[in-house]
Amino acid sequence: MIESTGSQVSPSVLEPWRRTAAASVGLYFHFIRLAFLKFLAYRLRYYTGVVSYTIFVSGHYYLYTALFASRIADSGDATIGGLSLDEMITYVAISWIGRSFYFNNIARDLMRMITEGEIAMQLIKPFHVQTVMMFEAVGESAFRLIMFTLPIMVVIVPLFHIGRPPESILYLWTFISFCLALVIYSQINFLLGCLAFNMKNIQGVLRAKMVSMDFLTGVVVPFTFFPEWFQRAVEWLPFQGISYIPVTIYLGKRPGEELYAALLLQVAWAVGLFIAGRLVWRISVRHVVVQGG
Amino acid sequence: MEPLIKVRNLTKDYRLIKKREGVTGGLVDLIRPRKELLRAVEKVSFDIPAGEMVGYIGANGAGKSTTIKMLTGILTPTAGTVTVGGLVPWKQRLQYTRHIGVVFGQRTQLWWDLAVVESFRLLKKIYEVDDATYDRQMKLFDDLLEVGQYLHQPVRKLSLGQRMRCDLAAALLHRPRVLFLDEPTIGLDVLAKENVRIFLREICEREGVTVILTTHDLGDIEQLCKRVIIIDKGRVHFDGELDNLRRRVGRRVRMTVELRDSATSGELAAITAGLPVTWDEVQGLRHHAEFNRVEVPGAEVIKRLVNECHVLDLHMAEQGIDEVVREIYRQSGREAS
């Protein structure tokens, strides 16, 4: 048989293909949009969240008010761990407002995909699952920003007289810092989710994560409350980039160069964790066992 | 000409952890889990030239799906090689998956919470399908599968048959070169099955797609594939033309007859004397017979029965895939010994 020449490709060869950079941007933007739409369909779920976050913050509000009052009565010192009562309340409020934005459940979603075999449907598509999940997380956070974070701010900020940052520009830096927090948070979640390739059920790990993350990120209590060694240790971990860094930026605790150093540290963790996620994924996928079928 | 799909000595082991019994057993398992290897696919080899439709059949747990999952790049084999058009599925996943379409009957690739059309728009982006091709393909799917009417419904609200049609369309939107179908008609009713088959025949002829189809349903194979590969316990037991298979196994049917008046199987055997029909040894109103349609036309058997006795009801069941496989397995065992 005579092979046809010219533009016609041989029937027994699959021609090489690569997505252009522009097409990649378009595709990933599309994932952001779809995730946004998906969460919009379940928006009712988030109205109760506004109530529970407000309860969290008010709990802390009364706790710290009492704590600072007794501190002043005892020693005349109006600060704990370098924070005044007003700063403390702001710290707690901004932490929870931030958490309402960057939060996602990638680890649980990935575990379900693996244990229920849905991962197969992802592996037959020409994209990186990790990148797709990250952009879906961005879409989720965009949804959260509008439908969850803003309503919470509207309730909490006037209710507890939350202070402004010392300079207005810090609003912008805080937001950027929380965006980086979103990347770090999603990549830590992704790495945890990858554990399901070997362990199958990682419910226990996820529960432990839920509790320890809020401590390690500084959402529950500022690091300055903890002993020296703990503060030293968390400096070497990525978790501070999720909450402690953005909140201290908001409070103006990072003057001048320190601000940029903190943001750069977040960028470094975001990139590092993303690369780690890519490597772990590549190794894990070889061990895929698809259930059923 | 070079075959498009080349499979050589493909082998897949699963590692299972075998649990011991009792409390002490459980504790021992914690320290030293007993691992066992299960060979799901063993040294499977075949070639498929471009444009061919091949039925890949076998009983449950025979290794069909495992093979498909290796061919689609989902699973990494323990040993052996696969190349499809020069690409290794599990190594060059990103490049390779651009050229394939996959339908798993038990799962959907559509985004569950969104309207069907959103999934198609996303797939358009994923595969970089240009507008003209997209419009043409969507029109084709609407003509052949009538998917147009479901486009704005969320996937979770579709029936299984509707969802399957949308899934087929989704797998073919980017005009893949190779199409993998894993039980595409599972759970569908007769009409829906027929629709799916007609569509597949039409589109594959039109686009020259190479198809590998696994199924439980011999009807799928008969209507779609010229060539079949039968796998059992991870090994290939038959690879050849469907006609060839039929000659070897035939088309055995089991007939159930309900009579008005009681009769013995001997009497019925006398009626079908001269025909290779075997009757179960019973006496009464209900009788069972087996014969091979290739040897005896069903109509001949029925005609004789109806002429000789009062038949109330009659039912014929085609031999299932499991029995065909068993038959092939029995035969290849006989050859080996």
Task: Kindly determine whether residue A126 and residue B177, on different chains, have CB atoms separated by under 8 Å.
Answer: no
| pTM for the structure as a whole | 0.85
Closest CA of chain B from A212, distance in Å: 26
Task: Kindly determine whether residue A288 and residue B85, on different chains, have CB atoms separated by under 8 Å.
Answer: no
A67: domain range? 20-284
How far, in Å, CA of A207 to CA of A209, rounded? 5
Overall residue count recorded for chain A in this entry: 293
Angle at B115 between CA B113 and CA B120, to 5 degrees: 110
- For residue range A26-51, list pLDDT tens digits in order: 999 999 999 998 888 888 878 888 89
Of A191, A188, A142, A173, nearest in space to A245 by CA: A173
Task: Kindly determine whether residue B76 and residue A286, on different chains, have CB atoms separated by under 8 Å.
Answer: yes
Asked if residue A2 is part of any domain, the answer here is no
pLDDT above 70: residue A149:
yes
pLDDT above 80: residue A290:
no
Strand spans (E) along chain B: 5-18, 34-48, 53-57, 79-84, 100-104, 178-182, 210-215, 227-232, 235-241, 252-264, 278-279, 283-292, 311-318
Number of domains in chain A: 1
Task: Kindly determine whether residue B107 and residue A118, on different chains, have CB atoms separated by under 8 Å.
Answer: yes
Asked if residue A292 is part of any domain, the answer here is no
How far, in Å, CA of B63 to CA of B38, rounded? 11
Closest CA of chain A from B256, distance in Å: 33
Task: Kindly determine whether residue B118 and residue A121, on different chains, have CB atoms separated by under 8 Å.
Answer: no
Chain B residues close to A120, C-beta within 8 Å? 69, 74, 104, 107
Average pLDDT, chain B: 87
Chain A residues close to B128, C-beta within 8 Å? 19, 23
Sequence letter at residue B219: G
Asked if residue A209 is part of any domain, the answer here is yes
- For residue range B187-241, list pLDDT tens digits in order: 888 888 888 889 898 888 888 899 999 987 878 888 888 899 998 889 998 899 8
Chain A residues close to B127, C-beta within 8 Å? 126
Average pLDDT over residues A247-264: 94
Asked if residue A172 is part of any domain, the answer here is yes
How far, in Å, CA of B215 to CA of B59, rounded? 9
Chain A residues close to B87, C-beta within 8 Å? 14
Asked if residue A14 is part of any domain, the answer here is no
Cβ neighbours of A100 (radius 10 Å): 23
Asked if residue A9 is part of any domain, the answer here is no
Chain B residues close to A118, C-beta within 8 Å? 107
**Residue in chain B lying closest to A120 (CA):** B74
Contact A51, A59 (CB under 8 A): no
Higher pLDDT, B252 or A280: A280
**Residue in chain B lying closest to A9 (CA):** B85
Asked if residue A12 is part of any domain, the answer here is no
Asked if residue A8 is part of any domain, the answer here is no
- For residue range B11-66, list pLDDT tens digits in order: 999 887 777 788 888 888 878 877 888 899 999 999 999 999 999 988 778 889 89
Higher pLDDT, B130 or B24: B130
Please report, for residues A32, A153, B117, B119, B163, the alpha-carbon distance to residue B154 in angstroms, rounded to integers and kept in the order given: 19, 33, 9, 10, 10
